[in-house]
Amino acid sequence: MALKATIYKAMVNVADLDRNQFLDSNLTLARHPSETQERMMLRLLAWIKYANERLQFSRGLSAEDEPEIWQRNDHMGIDLWVELGLPDEKRLKKACSQSAEVALFTYNSRAAEVWWQQHQNKLKQYQNLSIWYLDDEQLAKLCEFGTRSMNLQATIQDGAIWLSDAENNLEIHFTAWQHH
C-alpha cells in the first residue's frame, strides 16, 4: 500500500520590506512520505522569501520535471523556479533555460559544502541562478514551527527573515553562495 502525503496548513502573513510586498496567504503543504520535516519547512521558508500571489507549490517530489515552487506568468512561462537540496548541474541548467529566475535552497552542512566545492565553478555561468544556504542550526530552529496547523508572521528586512508564531521567534539569515 502506498503511503499518503501528510497535509500541513499554514496561514502566513508576510511583510517583505525589502521588496515592498505584503501578503496574507493560506497555504497547503503536502509532505511526501520520503520528505523530512527539515525539507518541508525549508520549502515553506523559500515560499516566504519569494512570497507573491502567483507563487505556488508544485507537485514537488512526485513530479520530477517540475520545481518545488514556481511562479508562472499569464503566458504559462515560468518567472521563478525554486529548487531545494543538491541537484545535479543538468537539472539547474534546464531550470535556468526555462525560467527567468532560478533560486536554489541548500541545506545539510557537510553534504552541501562538498556539493558547492564541486559545482561552484560551473554554476557561476548561470546569470539567473541564486543559491541560498541555510545552516543546520537555523534549520533545526525553523523546524520548531512545523505543526500540522501553522499560523506564522514573517517580516523580511535587509535580507533577514523574522519568523514568529504564538510560541516561537526566530531570526533567519541565509548565506548567499551565489546571488544575481
Query: Residue 13: which CATH number?
Result: 3.10.640.10
The DSSP code sequence of 68-103 is SEEEE-TTS-EEEEEEES---HHHHHHHHHHEEEEE
Question: Could you report the per-residue pLDDT of 71-117, keeping only the tens digit for each?
Answer: 999 998 999 999 999 999 999 999 999 999 999 999 999 999 999 99
Question: Could you report the per-residue pLDDT of 23-70, keeping only the tens digit for each?
Answer: 999 999 989 888 899 999 999 999 999 999 999 998 665 557 789 999
44 in a domain, yes or no?
A: yes
Residue type, 36: T
1 in a domain, yes or no?
A: no
* Segments forming the whole domain that contains residue 167: 6-178
26 in a domain, yes or no?
A: yes
Q: Would you call 24 helix, strand, or coil by DSSP?
A: strand
* pLDDT at residue 62, rounded to an integer: 55
* Alpha-carbon gap, residue 138 to 104, rounded angstroms: 17
Residue that has been written with the C-alpha cell 514537488 in this structure: 60
- E strand map for 17-75: 21-31, 55-57, 69-72
Structurally, the chain folds into a number of domains equal to 1
* Beta partners for residue 71, in sequence order: 55, 80
**Mean pLDDT across the stretch 122-147?**
97
21 in a domain, yes or no?
A: yes
13 in a domain, yes or no?
A: yes
pTM of the predicted model, to two decimals?
A: 0.94
* Beta partners for residue 152, in sequence order: 12
